[in-house]
């Protein structure tokens, strides 16, 4: 920064000869000439030390920094240091010293010229903060003597405020002082060109929409780091490098150069799973998360076993205020030897076949696009058949519910997770309404509505105060307390079997058979403590509790607890859970976190 009009250190200071100030505001205080005058002995004593020329700055404050004292020998080096020290107090534009000899010694008088009284401080070039906001960082006030040192600290605080809030390229470029009027010029660089290079498959607009930057925007490092993290988390690139270039002759513009190195986004996955109820299963999946370079997802695959499933989906998951996300897909299920329960008692086994077609469209809205809606149309044809292994006098409220169902489902989501951290933090709140309609070609009419809250809280700092464990968790891979609460109901006291809320199995109540609890009402709570034990391994302790029924007794809650292991693989989290609850212990093996 530059102080103009004489207050940048270019003041004067001298003793007989002159102490000077170097360009750039650094006092050189070179002793040019000091010789003993007639009548001065080599060891002349100082009889008094004083100051003149000061009107606002008290003498005791000025003399508090000098080393020359009455009763001590006069020393040329000490005088030189005194002048530098007084000048470095910042209140003065000129410092001089006069020596007057007498019979008993020499009197030392420092002559000073005070800086002007501050009348007004104003700013130019500031658009991020108004003058009143910047003045809160300024300790220099109108009516006081301008202090060069203090004001530099004020300017440092202003610049620190910009940098703390992410405007790391903003700076104080100039300070103009005219009498008591001080004008601070601030430069807030804006983006010039945003250059994206290195992408061969991925379309440039797909990258650009993640950055949310355009020419003329103020550059903010915090927001940019967030957008960059989101871009990297897409999984399209091995590496993303960022560079900056200032156009020649411009200090208020910066060009952004983004260089990406792409990686393959198509993959073939093989999976094998085991469930206490479903037995051994396995399948193959083909996935491309950046189909045709447009950021679209294509997924096709099958699972074989007692719960066979075949599916294909095509979607464009990106959405914002302007761009709609969408998805279409088909799924066919052929389940055999499924258990049907009534009041926690197994009634019989059955087979199920179902075909599902769906299409959906959604968009973001609200503050920072944290809200979104997504509307999906579902067409389903279900057939329950081959009842076998039934108990005597079994109860059957299943097989009569086959048929065609046509329903629309509207989902509202508030996502307040930090999407740019390498771990989960924050909350997600979903609220869904589903309406089935006979007039649209279905066999049923009903309304379902449910809400779900998921919350993720890093607790490493708390655990660090309780336990001394080195090397397990890190700042980027902390211990997470994950929780989920779901509640739902419906307009019908008895929903079709395929539309009922159901609990039991590896994704709800892990200590019970799949669909042990069914009904038109649901309450479910899950808590997991996810503890990293190595970069790619997690230990999990969990507790599940809930119930589903037509006539819900909200005080009748079933629960289970257990431990699990998560292993990070290129195909996602490998999951192993052991749960104690219900009538027997259960083990689950599969992929993905529970929530």
pLDDT tens per residue, range 185-205: 999 999 999 999 999 999 999
pLDDT tens per residue, range 422-445: 789 999 999 999 999 998 889 999
Instruction: Classify domain 120-187 at the CATH class level.
Output: alpha beta
What CATH superfamily classification does 3-114 receive?
Answer: membrane protein fhac (3.10.20.310)
**In the prediction, which pLDDT does 26 show?**
31
Taking the domains of the chain in order of start, what are their residue ranges?
3-114, 120-187, 190-262, 266-591
* Angstrom distances, CA of residue 333 to CA of 13, 64, 238, 281, 307: 93, 89, 37, 14, 7
Q: Does domain 266-591 have CATH number 3.30.540.10?
A: no
Q: Say if residue 93 is exposed, middle or buried (CB neighbours under 10 Å; 0-12, 13-18, 19+).
A: buried
pTM for this structure? 0.74
Written as six digits, the tokens of 64 are 């508090």
pLDDT tens per residue, range 458-486: 998 887 777 666 667 888 889 999 999 99
How many whole angstroms separate alpha carbon 521 and alpha carbon 478?
Answer: 36
Written as six digits, the tokens of 476 are 């980027």
How many whole angstroms separate alpha carbon 125 and alpha carbon 105?
Answer: 57
The residue-averaged pLDDT of 232-236 equals 87
**Is pLDDT above 60 for 58?**
yes
* Angstrom distances, CA of residue 233 to CA of 209, 227, 420, 422: 14, 10, 8, 9
The band of 591, judged by pLDDT with boundaries at 50, 70 and 90, is: confident
pLDDT tens per residue, range 255-293: 999 999 999 999 998 877 666 555 677 899 999 999 999
pLDDT tens per residue, range 162-182: 999 999 999 999 999 998 999
**Is pLDDT above 50 for 2?**
no
Largest Cα separation within the chain, whole Å, is 132
| Share above pLDDT 70 across residues of the chain, in percent, rounded to a whole number | 90
**548 alpha-carbon distance from chain centroid:** 37
The residue-averaged pLDDT of 483-491 equals 97
User: Is the fold of 3-114 the same as that of 190-262?
Assistant: yes
**In the prediction, which pLDDT does 15 show?**
36
Q: What is the 3-state secondary structure (H, E, C) of 238-282?
A: EEEEEEEECCCCCCCEEEEEEEEEECCCEEEEEEEEEECCCEEEE
Residue whose token pair is 């108004």? 130
The 8-class DSSP code of residue 117 comes to: B
How many whole angstroms separate alpha carbon 1 and alpha carbon 452?
Answer: 55
**In the prediction, which pLDDT does 278 show?**
58
Q: Say if residue 98 is exposed, middle or buried (CB neighbours under 10 Å; 0-12, 13-18, 19+).
A: middle
Q: Does domain 190-262 have CATH number 3.30.70.1400?
A: no
pLDDT tens per residue, range 366-394: 988 999 999 999 999 999 999 999 999 99
């Amino acid at each position: 920064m530059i102080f103009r009009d004489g207050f940048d250190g270019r003041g004067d200071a001298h003793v007989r000869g002159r102490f000077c100030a170097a360009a750039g505001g650094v006092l050189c205080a070179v002793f040019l000439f000091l010789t003993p005058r007639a009548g001065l002995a080599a060891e002349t004593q100082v009889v008094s030390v004083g100051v003149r020329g000061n009107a606002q700055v008290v003498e005791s404050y000025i003399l508090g920094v000098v080393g020359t004292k009455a009763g001590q020998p006069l020393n040329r080096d000490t005088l030189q240091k005194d002048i530098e020290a007084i000048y470095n107090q910042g209140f003065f534009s000129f410092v001089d010293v006069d020596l007057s000899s007498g019979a008993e010694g020499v009197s030392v008088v420092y002559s000073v010229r005070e800086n002007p009284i501050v009348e007004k401080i104003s700013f130019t070039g500031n658009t991020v903060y108004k003058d009143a906001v910047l003045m809160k960082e300024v300790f220099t006030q109108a009516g006081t003597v301008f202090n060069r040192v203090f004001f530099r600290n004020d300017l440092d605080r202003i610049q620190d405020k910009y940098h703390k809030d992410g405007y790391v390229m903003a700076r104080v470029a100039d300070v103009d002082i005219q009498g008591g009027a001080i004008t601070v010029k601030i430069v807030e660089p804006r983006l010039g060109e945003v250059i994206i290079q290195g992408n061969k498959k991925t379309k440039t607009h797909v990258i650009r929409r993640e950055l949310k930057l355009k020419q003329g925007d103020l550059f903010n490092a915090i927001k940019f780091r967030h957008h960059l993290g989101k871009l990297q988390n897409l999984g399209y690139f091995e590496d993303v490098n960022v560079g900056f270039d200032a156009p020649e002759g411009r200090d208020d513009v910066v060009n952004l150069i983004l260089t990406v190195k792409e990686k393959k986004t198509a993959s073939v996955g093989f999976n094998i799973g085991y469930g206490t109820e479903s037995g051994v299963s396995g399948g193959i999946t083909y996935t491309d998360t950046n189909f045709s370079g447009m950021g679209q997802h294509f997924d096709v695959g099958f699972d074989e076993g007692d719960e066979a499933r075949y599916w294909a989906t095509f979607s464009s998951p990106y959405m914002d205020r302007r761009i709609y996300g969408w998805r279409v897909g088909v799924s066919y299920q052929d389940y055999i030897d499924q258990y049907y329960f009534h009041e926690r008692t197994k009634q019989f086994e059955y087979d199920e076949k179902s075909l599902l077609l769906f299409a959906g469209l959604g968009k973001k809205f609200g503050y920072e696009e944290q809200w979104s809606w997504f509307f999906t149309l579902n067409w389903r044809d279900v057939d329950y058949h081959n009842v076998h292994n039934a108990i005597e006098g079994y109860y059957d409220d299943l097989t009569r519910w086959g048929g065609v169902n046509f329903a629309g489902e509207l989902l509202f989501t508030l996502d307040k997770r930090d999407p740019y951290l390498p771990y989960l933090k924050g909350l997600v709140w979903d609220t869904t309404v589903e309406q089935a309609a006979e007039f649209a070609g279905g066999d049923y009419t009903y309304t379902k509505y449910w809400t779900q809250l998921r919350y993720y809280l890093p607790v490493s700092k708390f655990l660090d105060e309780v336990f001394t464990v080195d090397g397990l968790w890190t700042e980027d891979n902390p211990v997470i307390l994950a929780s989920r609460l779901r509640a739902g109901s419906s307009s019908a006291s008895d929903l079709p079997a395929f539309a009922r809320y159901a609990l039991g199995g590896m994704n709800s109540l892990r200590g019970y058979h799949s669909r042990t609890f069914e009904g038109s009402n649901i309450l479910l709570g899950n808590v997991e403590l996810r503890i990293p034990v190595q970069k790619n391994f997690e230990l999990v302790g969990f507790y599940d509790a809930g119930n589903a029924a037509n006539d819900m007794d909200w005080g009748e809650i079933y629960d289970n607890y257990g431990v699990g292991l998560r292993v990070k693989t290129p195909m996602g989290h490998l999951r192993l859970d052991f749960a104690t609850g219900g009538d027997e212990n259960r083990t689950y093996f599969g992929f993905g976190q529970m929530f």
